[in-house]
Each structure stands twice: as structure tokens, then as C-alpha cells.
Structure 1
């Protein structure tokens, strides 16, 4: 069975990336056990708290290699084994639980630190985040609570998913990109758009994710409403890197 990569190039936003729970845990590991100068004591604590919850939930759902995964996170050295174990642990959990952990991490109570490592200061609390990001996340949480997981992905709610991606914290986008590059999970940058942002072909994305171009094309059809809400697939001019 193919593993879902923790970071994916955004299909419509050049230079931005989508993250799943395994990716969030990998980034939490860097905050918790990486260079202290790149986070805060509160960020380290929050990162370790997310890792502890992730490992406990994974163990409760049958994951047997939690001690090994924790040791690799503490070592803080990117490797395929670390990525695979984090993904396997995530795959033990039902989708509803994964989504809930992510939502509770980013829609935490005011005053809770954001754990993600950044090139600058760690954002001190959710009040500093774009309110549109938080509002969309809370509305999606309400829809999931009242109508179930499938309702989140209905066409009429695509604008909420778009808002989450569009207004996500720049620190999150930057940290995702840095971590994905460190782990060799992104295509090499060969072309940019008119603004100088990296763009990727379907062939590049498919090769990196270990799937076929046809599978990527199928996904764009299945998620057409969400992609349209995000601005559609980029079809503008591209320029090779000099």
C-alpha cells in the first residue's frame, strides 16, 4: 500500500504546500528536539505535547513501533524511516481523529503557543493568526460535528477549505516547505512563474509522490470544486531557472 506523503506541493498555489498529521508531527519533532534558537521554550513544550498525544493515539489504535518513532524524532535527523514510521502511525488512526488533532492544534485556546519552528520568532498565540483562517477552521469543525466527515468535502463547503489554505500562517507554509525539502519530498525546482515562485508539472508531482500522472489528473477532477475555490490549476506562463 502506498503511503501518503506528509507534505505535498499545493495544486494551485506555487511555492506553498499541504500538510497532513504525520507532517505536523515531523515539524513538531524539529521544534521539540531541534535547535532551541529556532523556537521558544513554549514551542518546545507544545511540540512535545503533540508528539505525546500522537504516539498515545497511534498506540491505542494498534501501532507497535512508537518507541522507535519517538527515538527517531528525538534524534532529529531526517530519514525515510522516520517519514515512513510517522506515516504508518498516522494511518492507524481514523480520519476523523487525525482531523480533530490538527484542528485542536491550530484552533487552540488563546495564549497557547504555536509549536512550529520558523526562521523568525514563533507566533505567540492564535490571536496573532489571520481570523479568516481560524473562522474557517472552526466552521469546518462545526460542520464535521453536526453533519459528519463527508459533509466537509461537499461543494458548498469548498470555500471554507480554500480559506484555510489561503489564510494559513506564513510560518506554517514556510516551515512545511523547509521540512519537505530537507526530507527530499518535493520536486526539484526547474521553472518559476512570472512572480518568481516555483511551479511544478504534473509529471514532477507524480514522480515525487510515487503515483502516475493519470492519478494526479483524476484527483484534480474529483476535487474540482475545491481547486476552483482556491483559484484553479495554474496555467500561466512559466520560465526556466537560469
Structure 2
């Protein structure tokens, strides 16, 4: 069994909590190299093992798991057929095809979002440089061309041409009318009843446009903690869950 040494300094942020988890459970969590998929329900195992440690709270552990399981390194490790591990590094259930596809989709979306952020920062930096350039040019003394002011400038009158009829009306008349694309109605989701909200129940949670499969790991009154197929832990309201 892994020996646990309580840290002397209270962690200040999520990254420090993840580092402490990697220190106390090195066969489960890692900060570098290849990551391993975590056991479904590992949040409950962490709460049970660290419940007497005043430096950790459920909220902090939940946030640390969310950050760890949403990293590119972890999502890339969630592949079909790979065994999930517990806190001691013991292999358990295998990652199925649906869980692997969800992790791969999440990884692609996360990288695309990061690329958009980098592009926006680059455009902002370029715009800032363009704003600073006119100010630098204005500080330089203006020069005049004396030779050009000696002779008066003459303009040649442009030959008159007959006005051409506008083509906008003709184009509008010949343009085919747009056909409205039929909207396919999304399959109605059925809310999960209070009776069905038990630990281990399979549900659907709608975080984006499409509902995602999840497993209930904790129920506290109207608040429910679920774990996604990728291993991410999410706290939500019971009204946001639907029947799988």
C-alpha cells in the first residue's frame, strides 16, 4: 500500500493539488510522460483516502480531477482496450470504444479552441503594433517637395461616357430564391427521476449541443456528481440529467 505523507504547506491552486496527488499516489497520477486512464469512481476513492486530511476538500479534489482528466496528455491516453487503474495502479476495467471516441473528440475540440485563442492573441498583438506605428511616424518632421510647388498642376478632364445601367436589379431578378433547409428535430430527452439517481446509475448530461454519457458517483440532495467517459468529474443539478 502506498504510504501517505501529509504535506506541511497547504496547496494554493489546482496545479499544486495535482502535484500532491502525484506524490501520494505515484502509481496512479503522473505529471510527465505517458498518463493512464483512471478508474470510474476514483473520486470516491480519493475522498475516502483523504477524508482525514484537512488540506484537501471535496471541491479541491473534484477540480484537480477535472484539470487532470482534461489535459491533452490524459485524453490521448484514453484509448479502446487500455485498462483503467485505481489509486494503487492496479488495472481494472478496459476503456470501451464509446469512451475512447469521446476522449478523442474532446482532444480535437480542446486543441481547436487553443488554436483560436493563439490566433486571437496574434491578431491583437498585430493591431497594437499598427496603432503604435502612426504615432511613431507623427513624431518625425514632415518634408516638402519644393520642386513640385513651382509649377501649377493641371488636371485633364476625363472624357464623358454614357452612364451604364445598374446590374444589381437584373442580378436580383435572375438570382434563384433560397430554399429553406428543413430542421431536424432533436430526439426528446427524458429527465431522470429521483428514484433513478443512485450511485453507479448510467445517465446523460448535456454540457454542449449533444448529450454525453456519464456515471453517477455522488448524490447530495439536488446536487449530483457524475463522471464522464473520459474520467472527468462534473458537479451538476439533478434537473440537468436525463435517462441514458
- Provide TM-score, normalisation by structure 1: 0.29
When you count helix as a share of all residues, which structure comes out higher?
Answer: 1
Which has more radius of gyration? 2
When you count strand as a share of all residues, which structure comes out higher?
Answer: 2
Q: Which has the higher contact order (CA 8 A, sep 6+)?
A: 1
